[in-house]
Structure 1
Amino acid sequence: MTTEEKIFNAARIVFQKKGFAGARMQEIADEAGINKAMLHYCFKSKELLFKAIFMNAFGQLAPQINAIFYSPDTVFDKIKKFTHSYISFVILNPYLPQFVIQEMNNNPEFVMAFLNYENRPNPAILIAQIEKEIANGIIKPVNPKQLLVDIFSMTVFPFAAQVMLKGMIQISDSEFNQMMEERKTSIAEQIINSIKK
């Protein structure tokens, strides 16, 4: 395992336990089994390290999402596969949604950088397919972009607001995780039932 891989693995563990704000570079160095000077040599700051981890993770997710968008599947099957893939990804990287929201407010240049990532998910083909399935009477007349916002919102929000949700509906971490597993299929079912003709 390379030094960078050790750092990435250690940082994921610390970020997951402490969140971005609570994580310390010394903890990450200790977890990686290296000294802090080596960590700072590789990554000058916690922000740069997190951005590297994010882009690495995003680079793994984007091809999965594009494979779904460009597949010959129906819109309904694509919705099922998207909710399953995205929620599975965030369960493995639970700190990412909060970090992205924080960066959207504090550092919009970073958000634009990953939105300009050359292999970023491109929903244009899915939007065109939704319009075609509406014309063919398979889907109710809906605004395709509104539909995508609904899907993204229902998958992203619970993770971005999990502290508030856990407190508001009085659930434990294990109950929250179980609910997220269930949402892999329940979100798709709700969306499909609402647009099926």
Structure 2
Amino acid sequence: MDKVKTENTELEILEAAKDVFQQKGMDGARMQEIADKANINKALLHYYYRSKQLLFEAVFKSAFSLLAPQLNKVLNDDSALFEKIENFTANYVSFVIKHPYLPNFVIQELTRNPEFVQTLRAQPNFPSMEKFSNQVSESIAKGEIREIEAEQLLINILSLNIFPFIGQPLLMALINVDKEKYSKILLDRKTEVSSFIINSIKI
């Protein structure tokens, strides 16, 4: 029971910290506030995480571990290139609708502390570009797609999928829609993005 209680307490801390970090960022968050939200005392919080930086890194790694499999699917699964683009777009949009805090949280904190990406790169689940690059080269050689750098294609895929979520308030104002209409637009992105990208590269 002690082990279960320990695991539950740690999960409650991470969930509370996620909410506070999401609202206030690393600099604005306070350990006392996180402890209060997790319904524990500050001493117990420090028993699990000696500093706010260590707690933040645990929350960030947890958040990135949710995103990493989505990136690995587009980079490393065995599906054909066009199918891979279609699957990634559909899965990513569905995934972020369920976890709306993730894109802003990850991008905000990588901007604040870009060196932290080196810590992420050391994780075993960090995505690798090698297989995707080879697949793009093979598709070009077969005459299936136009000449394009794999890095540029990946940036296009990620940008078109991510920005509608991190730029939501601005985009809602620019196109003058409410949240209900914008939610419909996001769902339509499941097919709109993949169609746009595929049509831009196929021969």
TM-score, L = length of structure 2: 0.79
Q: 2: distance between equivalents of 1:33 and 1:190?
A: 48
44, 58, 62: which is aligned to 2:68? 62
Question: One-letter code of the match for 1:183?
Answer: R
Residue 82 (1) aligns with residue 88 (2): yes
TM-score normalized by the length of structure 1: 0.81
1:123, CA displacement in angstroms?
Answer: 2.0
Q: Which consecutive unaligned segments of at least 5 residues does structure 2 have?
A: 1-6
CA distance in 2, matches of 1:47, 1:192: 42
Partner residue in 2 for 1:176: 182
1:20 matched to 2:18: no
Question: After the TM superposition, which parts of structure 1 deviate over 4 Å for at least 4 consecutive aligned residues?
Answer: 13-16, 21-27, 44-47
Which residue of the other structure, out of 179, 182, 200, is the alignment partner of 1:194?
200
Equivalent position SS for 1:188? helix
Match of 1:134 in 2: 140
Which structure 1 residue ranges, 5 or more long, are not aligned? none
Alpha-carbon distance in structure 1 between the residues aligned to 2:20 and 2:103: 16
How far does residue 129 in structure 1 lie from its aligned partner after superposition? 0.7
**Aligned position for 1:53:** 59
2:9 maps to which of 3, 19, 40: 3
* Separation (CA, whole Å) in 1 of partners of 2:191 and 2:144: 20
Distance 1:30-1:56 versus aligned 2 partners, 3 A rule: same
Give runs of aligned pairs for residues 114-129 of structure 1, distance below 5 A: 114-129=120-135
Count of residue correspondences? 196
Counterpart amino acid of 2:150? P
Query: What is the CA-CA distance between 1:63 and the residue it aligns to?
Result: 3.4
* 1:196 Cα offset (Å): 1.8
Q: 1:3 to 1:168 in 2, by over 3 A?
A: same
2:98 and 2:55 mapped to 1: Cα distance? 18
CA RMSD of aligned residues (A): 2.7
Report if aligned partners of 2:25, 2:109 keep a CA contact under 8 Å in 1.
no
Q: What residue identity is the alignment partner of 1:20?
A: G
Per the TM alignment, residue 119 of structure 1 is displaced from its structure 2 partner at its CA by: 2.0
The Cα shift of 1:68 comes to: 4.2
The structure having more radius of gyration, on CA atoms, is 2
For structure 1, which segment, 114-123 or 63-72, has the greater mean C-alpha deviation from structure 2 after superposition? 63-72
Q: Does 1:35 align with 2:34?
A: no
Deviation at 1:44, TM superposition (A): 4.4
Cα separation, partners in 2 of 1:108 and 1:12, compared to 1, 3 Å: closer
Identity value in percent:
46
